[in-house]
Structure 1
């Protein structure tokens, strides 16, 4: 069941999205999913750079498919912020907006005349959201704020993979998505405060802080280790350098499977592997590479489903490692009904994910693709 958009929590709010690429637009997308009117403000020549960022040569309505995935359902106005006439028209939009989001490097919006101080004077009720790579001060402030680069600098790439591997980043832009979530949380908090006090606010997030927040468990362990030693990745099955054996991913007879926390004695019993029982529970971390090697040898002797049939009924946390073809064929995937079809004004279609939030028992779906560049300029930039 899809809810009436006029009944969604953010219906009636106007959001101006000046951001490009991922973190800012994803935050604006989530506000759109929750009912807000989101207007992308783009440069007339080419618009958001992500419109031309083609992945696997996939397009929809002339723009890259990835652009549509996080700009669906929005409106677009084309304006050259370096031209006084266009800037004046955009400032008129700002004066009537509720939220504004940008991800320009520090100082850019101030030079344009749309920094927080200028906007606050123009519209004291507006909530102003800013996304940067590394914050607004310090020696890294002007570095490119790109997901892979922040994973590299933050140590995340060194947490992944087995001990013999080089750095292993994630295969998706997890920090952009996490940063978007932080921005939405801050914006919603300021909107609640505005409802009480009438005052807007400034919300600042950055990818590096998101990286630190996502690794708070591991980083806390490191910060409280007086030796200052780097976390030791496991020789095999590494999934978290601070989790003891058998925590990790293992090759079974016909595929891969994941094992989370499990008492060694119980695991030895279920796997009929007395060699595992020979290790005291106190050795689960001190001798984890030895233990994992034995667990891996045992699991490799039988198919994944054989082990799942034994371990799951016994309450051991485990799962098969699925690729996307297998995952999208699974009953668990189907039960979530996570896919929606979006359409351009010209009728081109693509399948993508829906908003992960449910409101009042309903999933949030919007069939509108991303807007054509400047499609709403005449309607919204009047005068």
Structure 2
């Protein structure tokens, strides 16, 4: 039996730009909602031209195509009275509106949450800022690398002798988008119970603080003592040897937590000592042995004894693996090859062949449909 996706029939207005807000709208679209993206006339979402790489498709960045697939586009200028009024009318038909303006900007433009919810009390408005709505950081650019720097996450990465290391992904944007979706879905459930809308708010900083809740909890309950990163193959400042990523003769091998007395005979090493107090010395001995053989050699030895380990794969190796193929995580839109949603509902993973829209591609039809 074929069932409708869970958000089928809901209308989402995506007023956001770049990555965090549009990624939230994308997730709602993958769950079945119709998503109308509102863009600036002639210019569109800044993500169209702020390149992720030197690769573009039809004049727009691959990032834009990945994060806006399956959406419709209408161009509205909020500084024009008629367009602003059209946006508010459109919001009266919507279930969810997604915004990621800097604090106060949407209100100054007359399209903030209060205005939209006054026009539609059942509306759920989701907003993402950089660092919250007030305070000394509120007006700073809500940009992923800057949020990583301020959050402490960047400081925590790398070996003890390294400087701060950024995560090589837009992790603050993506996490904030996921957090917002979680709150929006909860608000929609409540609306189904009592009929009221909601304002759901998060920020890049809040998402990254939550991302670190495990280690921050340890820090807060340890007298404020800072963790000591391992000097050798660090992977987690609060975990002892052998936890880390080690060079082999032809690649890299990740070793997770395990009793050292289980690992020692397989490596032919004396690994006596405290996993924390003697961490660097123990890991140095492990590193010296691991580098002597290939990754496949070590995988054969270690997995046969249920040692938690994995090779470090690059993208071609991941994409070529049978495990990846079985997940069915890729899809072809009419513009790009990209990923599919990372969840299945009733055994089915969503797929949408529609690519990202051109600026105002659906504007005329949307204006007619909603009498804008």
TM-score norm. by structure 1 comes to 0.94
Structure 1 residues 56, 116: CA separation in 2 closer, same or farther (over 3 Å shift)? Answer: closer
> Take 2:256 and 2:222, find their aligned partners in 1: how far apart are those partners?
24
Q: Note if 1:376 corresponds to 2:367.
A: no
**Structure-to-structure mapping, 1:354-369, within 5 angstroms:** 354-369=340-355
- Report the CA distance between 1:271 and its aligned residue: 1.5
Please state how far the C-alpha of 1:163 moved relative to its aligned partner. Answer: 1.3
- State the 1:269 CA deviation: 1.5
Give the Å deviation of 1:263. Answer: 0.5
Distance 2:134 2:304 in 1: 53
Which of 99, 104, 109 is the matching residue for 1:107? 104
2:213 corresponds to 1:241: no
Aligned residue in 2 for 1:35: 32
Counterpart Cα distance in 2 of 1:252 and 1:262: 19
Query: Which runs of structure 2 are paired with 1:1-383 in the superposition (5 Å)?
Result: 7-226=4-223, 228-273=224-269, 275-276=270-271, 278-279=272-273, 283-343=274-334, 349-381=335-367, 382-383=371-372
Q: Distance in 2 between matches of 1:188 and 1:110?
A: 24
Counterparts of 1:179 and 1:13 in 2: how far apart (Å)?
A: 22
Report how far residue 115 of structure 1 moved: 1.9
Q: Gaps spanning 5+ residues in structure 1: where?
A: 344-348
SS at match of 1:286: coil
Q: Match of 2:73, SS?
A: strand
Deviation at 1:300, TM superposition (A): 1.4
Deviation of 1:46 after TM superposition, in Å, equals 0.7
TM-score when scaled to structure 2?
0.96
CA distance in 2, matches of 1:57, 1:261: 40
Distance 1:255 1:63 in 2: 36
For structure 2, which runs of at least 5 residues remain unmatched after alignment?
none
How far residue 54 of structure 1 moved from its aligned partner, in angstroms, is 2.4
1:272 to partner: Cα distance: 1.9
RMSD value, Cα: 1.3
For the residue of structure 1 that corresponds to 2:304, the secondary structure is: helix
- Is contact 2:78–2:111 with CA below 8 Å preserved after alignment? no
Shift of 1:374: 0.3
Distance in 2, matches of 1:61 and 1:73, equals: 16
1-structure distance, mates of 2:299, 2:320: 19
Distance 2:93 2:53 in 1: 40
**Could you report, residue by residue, the CA deviation over 1:141-191 in whole angstroms, capped at 9, with x for unpaired residues?**
111111110111111111111112111101110111111111001000000
Q: Work out the CA distance in 2 between the residues paired with 1:27 and 1:200.
A: 18
* Aligned-residue offset at 1:270: 1.7
Counterparts of 1:194 and 1:214 in 2: how far apart (Å)? 28
Moved more, 89-98 or 115-124: 115-124
**What is the CA-CA distance between 1:310 and the residue it aligns to?**
1.6
Distance, in Å, in 2 between the alignment partners of 1:230 and 1:36 is 44
* C-alpha distance in 2 between matches for 1:252 and 1:56: 31
Q: What does the per-residue CA deviation read over 1:299-358, in whole Å, with 9 as the maximum and x for residues that have no partner?
A: 112111111112112111100011112111111111112111111xxxxx3211111121
